[in-house]
């Protein structure tokens, strides 16, 4: 029999009815408003096929971050996610219908943003993502499971996209012909970063891989970055994935699902602020990484756009959607951003040169 969320909570020794929380596209998130408060999450098993491996990664990564933060004199209860164990000492609870639940300490006095409000916010977010990568620079990457195989392998993402077009399993391809062509016209871009990783030109680092602005909490009073959250996809990757994915989202003047494309532009002031924070915090950045920073934003935007479009063509099985065209609307904002970036690529390159000195 399916257990209610209230029953699930008793396994973390809490008696309460929690409420839905946040705007993540993947897991089901609940706020447990007690004192202190907690975040309860049901892990999306369709996305994460082996939830035990996700939890093993998160346990190792948060323990590592905790040690680093303490060594630097910081507050580990705010600087990293803290898992709450179940009554029988496990980092997650598996319900009798086979669902996986985990609980974190709720980080108070900080919040995430779904749309950027100022370049300063981006500067602070970038420093938080940069510090996060620095703290993981000596993490033994071989201990991490690859929880979503080839997550940012854009060649594979492109092949998956073509397969979704070909299958046209819900008959939506004809109505998305323009968007499909937009991706096909940019096939040349998909191999650039993966090929440089394969040939050893780009270093492999332990990266976050999902650096949306709503995956970093900023202090409500000072605006400074407090904690990088949503650690499900921490895996070996490229610094360019974290940079590109962050600006894909935070460089936009509108929401990821804004239907009015006249409101969607790629904002160079936001690009500059984020780049400054990121580059300042990561002295280990290489020449080739610097050179590819502007391109990586276009690449990660293309990757995300083709994932939204492929999901639309496959009947919305991956991302949470609120209405039938949601994934199509999302891919359109990504493609509008790419058009604007293509016009602004020269300016983006000049900004990186100016910052890197």
When the beta carbons of 147 and 190 are compared against Mg ion, the nearer one is: 147
Q: Report the C-alpha dihedral over residues 289, 292, 297, 300, rounded to 10 degrees.
A: -80
Does 211 contact Mg ion by CB under 5 A?
no
Q: CB 190 → ligand GN1: shortest distance, Å?
A: 16
**Per rule CB under 5 A, count of chain residues that contact Mg ion:** 3
Binding-site string for ligand ADP from residue 10 to residue 29, where x marks contact by CB under 6 A and - marks none: -----------xx-xxxx-x
User: In 3-state terms, what secondary structure has residue 14?
Assistant: coil
| Residue whose C-beta lies closest to ligand GN1 | 25
| Least distance between ligand ADP and beta carbon 40 (Å) | 10
76 binds ligand ADP (CB under 6 A): no
Stretch that binds ligand GN1, among 8-16, 79-87, 153-161, 229-237 (CB under 6 A): 229-237
Answer for which of 5, 9, 24, 121 binds Mg ion (CB under 5 A) is 24
Q: In the range 185-224, which residues lie near ligand GN1 by CB under 6 A?
A: 210, 212, 215
In the chain the first and final C-alpha atoms are separated, in Å, by: 62
Q: x/- site string to ligand ADP, residues 81 to 120, per CB under 6 A?
A: x----------------------x-xx----x--------
| 308 φψ region: left (φ > 0), alpha (ψ -120 to 50), beta (else) | alpha
Within 58-117, which residues bind Mg ion (CB under 5 A)?
none
Name the residue among 300, 326, 349, 318 with its Cα closest to residue 186: 300
The closest alpha carbon to 136, from 147, 124, 144, 148, belongs to 144
DSSP 8-state secondary structure symbol assigned to residue 70: H
CB 30 within 8 A of CB 124: no
CA distance 294 to 240: 9
Which residue, among 30, 10, 34, 14, has the nearest Cα to 22 in the 3D structure?
A: 30
Q: Is 30 in the site for ligand ADP (CB under 6 A)?
A: no
Measured from the CB atom, is 86 or 207 closer to ligand GN1?
A: 207
- For 268, other C-beta atoms within 10 Å of its C-beta total 17
Binding mask 235-254 for ligand GN1 (x = CB under 6 A): ----------x---------
Question: Given the rule CB under 5 A, which residues bind Mg ion?
Answer: 24, 215, 230
């Amino acid at each position: 029999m399916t257990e209610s969320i209230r029953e699930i909570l008793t396994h973390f020794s809490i008696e309460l009815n929690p409420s839905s929380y946040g705007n993540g596209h993947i897991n089901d998130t609940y706020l447990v408003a007690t004192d202190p408060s907690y975040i309860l999450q049901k892990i999306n098993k369709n996305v994460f096929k082996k939830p035990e491996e996700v939890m093993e990664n998160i346990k190792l990564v948060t323990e590592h971050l905790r040690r680093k933060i303490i060594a630097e004199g910081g507050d580990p209860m705010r600087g990293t996610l803290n898992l709450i164990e179940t009554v029988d000492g496990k980092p997650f609870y598996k319900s009798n219908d086979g669902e996986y639940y985990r609980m974190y300490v709720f980080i108070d006095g900080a919040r995430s943003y779904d749309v950027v409000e100022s370049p300063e916010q981006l500067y602070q977010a970038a420093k938080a993502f940069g510090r996060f990568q620095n703290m993981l620079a000596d993490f033994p990457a071989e201990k991490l499971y690859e929880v979503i195989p080839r997550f940012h392998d854009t060649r594979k993402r492109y092949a998956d996209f073509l397969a979704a077009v070909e299958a046209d399993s819900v008959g939506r391809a004809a109505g998305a012909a323009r968007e499909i062509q937009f991706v096909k016209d940019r096939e040349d871009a998909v191999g650039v970063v993966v090929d440089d990783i394969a040939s050893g030109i780009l270093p492999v680092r332990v990266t976050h891989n999902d650096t949306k602005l709503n995956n970093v909490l900023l202090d409500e009073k000072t605006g400074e970055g407090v904690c990088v959250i949503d650690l499900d996809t921490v895996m070996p990757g490229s610094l360019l994935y974290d940079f590109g994915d962050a600006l894909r989202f935070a460089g936009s003047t509108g929401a990821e699902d804004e239907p009015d494309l006249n409101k969607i532009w790629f904002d160079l002031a936001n690009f500059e602020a984020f780049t400054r924070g990121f580059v300042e915090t990561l002295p280990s950045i290489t020449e080739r990484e610097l050179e590819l920073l502007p391109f990586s934003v276009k690449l990660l935007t293309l990757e995300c756009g083709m994932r939204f479009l492929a999901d639309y063509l496959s009947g919305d099985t991956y991302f949470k959607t609120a209405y039938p065209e949601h994934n199509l609307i999302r891919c359109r904002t990504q493609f509008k951003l790419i058009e604007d970036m293509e016009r602004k690529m020269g300016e983006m390159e000049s900004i990186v040169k100016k910052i890197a000195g």
